[in-house]
């Protein structure tokens, strides 16, 4: 009898409809209006790489130890350095990071002994050309400059 | 009288996929049809083959860890756990207790995320459009926890060999607890939408029956096996990462049909919440483990399998006393489960093929590797 009642009066379907009706409550809206409203990514987010510079004197923190290049599974980091004859230290000349092959695993920043290389919260990495994905030292130090939209 | 009239029927060969949205990726199924009845199927795979196992031979042990995330990309944390456990066994080390408990929490959260994605897409295949939005809404909360913890949402690379790389962030426990409290009523909500729905029941009950013995013949594991009434869960059978400390049940079904698999997975989500709640209560303090700088295991081989959301995920790692594995063989649950497709589909209708592919919960990234 109960089954007959439920079948005739479509109880199961109305039960489902009641769920969808409840979920129309505006507090369940999760849509992000992306270009205007930018998402707050986590502090540890692994996004665009950055080569940190010393804020006091503008010199790079990188000691050209090449550990990041060795740690990278895709070997996409190329570190160029030359020995300074006066201080007998290796100094960074070039730093190339091929973002098109990067999978943001974070092994390079784990390997960095001086926290020079870091994966940052920047996530807008689209470029018009394939070459634009290969970041040189200057680009890595300045970071990407995504367009900010306002509504 | 002509030899053939339009009343004569012939067998029809139909290609389903690889771009068909219901094949959950790039699976191509060649169907042999008699009217609307399926006489036989053949799966064509390999469209997503990236040679992950071969890549492993050319990377060091640490470097290969991000690649395993890309096999079953909806359950990346489980993949990482399996690989880390395998290499740890090869090295004869064990992660510290704090790392183990954290691993359990994240793996179970990942199980929920994987099942949510399965539920949403499966329902979408059957024709229920609503659940996918609700499921993705809740999955987002899990992904936020992953993002806060390790900085990535999908291909997490959360664990390292020998422990963890990242210490738990402030507010991790609160966020996980809040998720558990929020999530259980949502599971009830999905059940309200689907469990008694007459269309859902009619489309799933008695479809794609696979008995327990057939499951064992094919080597099918995971929820598909448990829905056939076999109480087999590696978390209970061979506990790893401290699973023996947690109190949970193995949900099983009786009929081994698509509906039972749905019920089993819904129950598994509840059990996962139960495990997470117990684990969050007892996160011990202490070290989180440190990755050895150079991993150079002694010559030997090891097989470690874990209960991934989709079934038994095994890693067979052979070492030749160098920093790179000699061979990494993966036993992916999706690949093995996919074998049973033909047995389940044969004799059914074309519309059921979609339901059965959905219920197997395959991820083509894992099938092709």
Q: B50, B54, B63, B205: best mutation site toward chain A, by most A Cβ within 10 Å?
A: B63
Take residue B205 and report the two structure tokens written for it.
Answer: 């009950």
Three-point CA angle B7, B9, B11, nearest 5°:
170
Nearest CB to B63 within list A12, A43, A107 = A107
pLDDT at B1 over 70: no
Residue A97 is given by DSSP the state E
Phi-psi region of A140 (alpha: psi -120 to 50; beta: other; left: phi over 0): alpha
Please report the pLDDT score of residue A21 as a whole number.
87
- Read off the pLDDT of residues A61-99 as tens digits, 9 standing for 90 and up: 888 888 888 889 988 998 888 888 888 788 888 889 898
Section B246-257 average pLDDT: 87
Nearest to B317 by CA among B332, B298, B302: B302
Q: State the residue for tokens 């973002």.
A: A99
Pairing of strands B28-34, B37-44: antiparallel
Beta strands in chain B (DSSP E): 12-16, 28-34, 37-44, 159-160, 163-164, 300-308, 311-319, 325-331
Helix, strand, coil percentages for chain A (3-state, nearest 5): 30, 20, 50
**CB within 8 Å: B64 and A73:** yes
- Stretch B229-250: mean pLDDT, rounded? 87
CB B299 within 8 A of CB B319: yes
> How many pairs of residues across A and B have Cβ atoms under 8 Å apart?
71
**So what's the pLDDT on residue B318?**
92
CATH of the domain spanning B12-368, picked from 3.20.20.450, 3.40.33.10, 1.10.645.10, 2.60.120.10: 1.10.645.10
CATH of region A49-142: 3.30.70.3270
Mean pLDDT of B235-252: 87
pLDDT digits (tens, 9 = 90+) for A114-150: 888 888 888 888 888 888 888 888 888 887 877 777 7
Residue B173 Cα, gap to closest chain A Cα (Å): 16
Rounded to the nearest angstrom, the minimum Cα separation between A49 and chain B is: 13
Query: What is the mean pLDDT of the segment spanning B325-336?
Result: 90
Tell me what pLDDT residue A1 has.
67
The answer to whether the CB of A115 falls within 8 A of the CB of A62 is no
Distance from C-alpha of B171 to C-alpha of B189, rounded to nearest angstrom: 27
pLDDT (0 to 100) of residue B296: 83
Q: Across residues B112-137, what is the average pLDDT?
A: 89
Nearest-by-CA chain B residue for A23: B134
Query: Do residues B173 and B280 touch, judged by C-beta distance below 8 A?
Result: yes
Confidence of residue B315 (pLDDT cuts 50, 70, 90): very high
**What's the gap in Å between the CA of A110 and the closest CA on chain B?**
8
Cβ proximity of B263 and B294 under 8 Å? no
Average pLDDT, chain B: 87
pLDDT recorded at residue B151: 86
Mean pLDDT in residue range B88-93: 88
Backbone angles phi, psi at B324, to 5 degrees: -115, 145
- B193 contacts A16? CB cut-off 8 A: yes
Q: If phi over 0 gives left and psi between -120 and 50 gives alpha, with beta otherwise, what is residue A104?
A: left
Question: By C-alpha distance, which of B56, B62, B83, B52 is closest to B313?
Answer: B83
Average pLDDT value for residue range B281-310 = 86
Judged by CB atoms closer than 8 Å, whether chains meet at A110 and B189 is answered as: no
Distances (CA, A) of A147 to A35, B221, B284: 9, 49, 45
Q: Is the Cβ pair B147, A103 closer than 8 Å?
A: no
Disruptive mutation site among A77, A106, A120 for chain B (greatest number of B CBs within 10 Å): A106
> How buried is residue B142: exposed, middle or buried, by Cβ count under 10 Å (0-12/13-18/19+)?
buried
ipTM for the assembly: 0.83
Which one of A12, A30, A41 has the shortest CB-CB distance to B147? A41
- Average pLDDT value for residue range B23-28: 81
When pLDDT is cut at 50, 70 and 90, the band that residue B112 belongs to is very high
Q: Is the pLDDT of residue B135 over 70?
A: yes
Q: How confident is the model at residue B116 (pLDDT cuts 50, 70, 90)?
A: very high
Q: Mean of the pLDDT values across residues B306-325?
A: 90
**Mean pLDDT (whole number) for A9-32:** 81
Looking at the DSSP bridge assignments, the partners of residue A119 are A49
pLDDT at B46 over 70: yes
Give me the residue from A12, A71, A105 closest to B157, CB to CB: A105
- Mean pLDDT, range B204-226, rounded to an integer: 88
Q: Which of B59, B157, B193 minimises the CB distance to A19?
A: B193
Collect all residues of chain A within an 8 Å Cβ-Cβ radius of residue B134. Answer: 23
- Checking if the pLDDT of B127 tops 80, the result is yes
Q: What is the pTM of this model?
A: 0.87
CA distances from A121 to B164, B169, B276 (A): 21, 16, 29
List Cβ neighbours of A151 (8 Å cut-off, separation of 6 or more): A33, A36
What are the phi and psi torsion angles at B13 (to 5°)? -100, 125
Measured between its terminal Cα atoms, the distance across chain B in Å is: 56
């Amino acid at each position: 009898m109960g089954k007959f009642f439920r079948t005739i009066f479509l109880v199961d379907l109305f039960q489902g409809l009641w769920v969808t009706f409840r979920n129309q409550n505006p507090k369940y809206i999760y849509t992000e209006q992306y270009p205007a409203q930018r998402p707050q990514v986590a502090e540890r987010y692994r996004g665009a790489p950055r080569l940190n510079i010393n804020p006091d004197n503008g010199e790079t923190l990188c000691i050209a130890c090449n550990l990041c290049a060795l740690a990278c599974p895709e070997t996409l980091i190329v570190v160029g350095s030359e020995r300074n004859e006066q201080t007998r230290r290796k100094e960074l000349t070039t730093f190339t990071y091929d973002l098109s092959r990067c999978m943001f695993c974070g092994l390079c920043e784990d390997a960095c002994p001086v926290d020079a290389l870091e994966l940052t919260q920047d996530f807008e990495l689209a470029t018009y050309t394939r070459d634009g994905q290969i970041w040189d030292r200057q680009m890595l130090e300045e970071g990407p400059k995504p367009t900010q939209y306002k509504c | 009288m002509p030899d053939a009239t339009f009343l004569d029927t012939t067998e029809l060969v139909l290609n389903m996929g690889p771009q068909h949205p219901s094949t959950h990726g790039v699976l191509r199924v060649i169907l042999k049809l008699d009217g609307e009845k399926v006489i036989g199927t053949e799966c064509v795979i390999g469209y997503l083959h990236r040679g992950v196992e071969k890549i492993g031979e050319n990377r060091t042990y640490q470097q290969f860890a991000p690649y395993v995330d890309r096999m079953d990309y909806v359950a990346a944390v489980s993949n990482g756990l399996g690989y880390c456990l395998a290499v740890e066994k090869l090295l004869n080390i064990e992660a510290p207790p704090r790392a183990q408990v954290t691993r359990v929490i994240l793996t179970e959260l990942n199980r929920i995320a994987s099942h949510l994605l399965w539920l949403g897409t499966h329902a979408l295949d059957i024709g229920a459009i609503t659940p996918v939005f609700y499921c993705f809404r809740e999955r987002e909360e899990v992904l936020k926890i992953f993002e806060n913890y390790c900085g990535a949402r999908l291909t997490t690379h959360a664990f390292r060999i020998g422990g963890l790389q990242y210490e738990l962030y402030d507010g991790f426990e609160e966020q996980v607890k809040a998720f558990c409290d929020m999530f259980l009523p949502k599971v009830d909500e999905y059940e309200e939408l689907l469990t008694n729905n007459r269309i859902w029941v009619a489309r799933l009950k008695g479809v794609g029956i696979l008995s327990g013995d057939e499951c064992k013949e094919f080597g099918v594991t995971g929820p598909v096996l448990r829905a056939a009434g076999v109480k087999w869960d590696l978390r209970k059978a061979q506990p790893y990462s401290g699973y023996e400390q947690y109190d949970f049940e193995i949900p099983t079904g009786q009929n081994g049909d698509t509906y039972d698999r749905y019920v089993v997975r819904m129950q598994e989500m509840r059990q996962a919440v139960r495990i997470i709640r117990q684990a969050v209560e007892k996160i011990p303090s202490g070290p989180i483990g440190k990755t050895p700088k150079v991993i150079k295991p002694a010559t030997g081989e090891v097989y470690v399998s874990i209960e991934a959301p989709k079934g038994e995920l095994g890693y067979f790692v052979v070492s030749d006393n160098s920093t790179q594995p000699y061979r990494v063989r993966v036993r992916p649950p999706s690949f093995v489960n996919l074998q049973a497709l033909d047995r389940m589909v044969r004799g059914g209708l074309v519309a059921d093929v979609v339901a059965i592919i959905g219920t197997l919960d395959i991820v083509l990234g894992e099938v092709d590797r």
